[in-house]
Structure 1
């Protein structure tokens, strides 16, 4: 029996096609460097921009080098949306046995994200594992960077989940996760990824960079903002964290989406603010959670209650 949970779900397949509407007409054929979130018009601008990007999104992660990625866009007859390919590739993952649970989902060094773009807390993940029964003795996280500590003050997501499960063995990759069509995986740690602007697509059977599947909407954050597209801004925020590795940009996008009434973005922004803990963050987080809870978002209502009861206010 294969013990496998995929939170890289079929619902993400439909996201790619709809986003063609957001493409500014003059961007087709240009290239962007996106891991650190900067648009580039030439190699010289790439070199000049690197220092700025790293200052804007500082990290202690072991990032190095550049990868050129062949984005198959505009989509031709021999191409498929990368989200569709990723979903199929995860289903082909090798059998890990009855006592091992493999969980495929989007992630960063800081958070897991569910198929609805909501942050999944360690408590959420632990509860999901426990629901699989007592036979499970090991968890494999198929989520980019889930095995890496984001800084010296935090343990990796894998370590945190292990503690929540009574020190069960939990492992995750220390870098960006790539899938082959047979479900096999590889990991890279590039500082920059250069690719053609547009929704991420691959040639049939070509390997997929999992983080870019959720990451590419971040390149259109300005377009989403101009169109007052709350869902687009939510997805841009996720992209800034899981691909650009920049929680500060993610928070800005989540805040913008929450201001337009998106409760999931409000929930995400609240978590980021509570974790950051700067002056005024707790009050802003509580306000976001109250607004989302009033709109009927149950996870926000639960987190609001929990946060109110905790003196430090951290989820």
Structure 2
């Protein structure tokens, strides 16, 4: 299954559709549809197989007469074509195909839900956060309506984790935590990625506690996790952040010094905290050097984007 990931906060996005594709006996497109699905489900697809699958899905969707149950098959084709585009970060093309899926499958609640969920992911990764929130909330409202009728939709963990990430980024940490906790309820223990998923969600919840100055609770959660090797560094870094906020500078610095080289925004946060530790110790030359490194990283990673860490770096740098 093709997966979409929210890297800053272990945010994981998985794309699928609810509609079943049953044989219709229509030889004009049935054979091509079977071939497209075989290519789409390859465990090791290539750019060539993906391109062929994408073209077949679009061709099949165009051959299916509009109206009736077959619209669900056409919508599924458009959605899978969009998933392929999105996997290659062709977000504009993906958005067009997701909208076509939504148009062809508008009468099916499941297709509306997955289309809105996928469009939310599409806009999120394109940094159109307001639009992403709009589509995620449409999906959430529909999910609530269907849950009241006894129907549970798939990938609710993805939906609620995505909404949690958006509210977290807007500094609404209470609402973010509510969504992360809802996401935790819907993670299947049978999922092969269960360990990574639950660790990511718990990490997000711990971050919310940290932002709300509930440092002991945040640290308790982080210390209770059993992260996989690829998650250990970010969990330990977050532990260092909490210890820093508690004023336990020696403990925080001890963890920072044992971390592998960080990159991106995580590195900027760590550098600012390390520099502030040196400031608290009165080690002005080292603090100045680390703040300069932080500002250099900001210019590389977030050029033209104003953010809290940049403001903090300039503020504390000016006090040296």
TM-score (norm 1): 0.30
Greater relative contact order structure (CA < 8 Å, 6+ sep): 1
Judging by fraction of residues, say which structure has more strand.
1
Judging by fraction of residues, say which structure has more helix.
2
Structure with higher Rg: it is 2
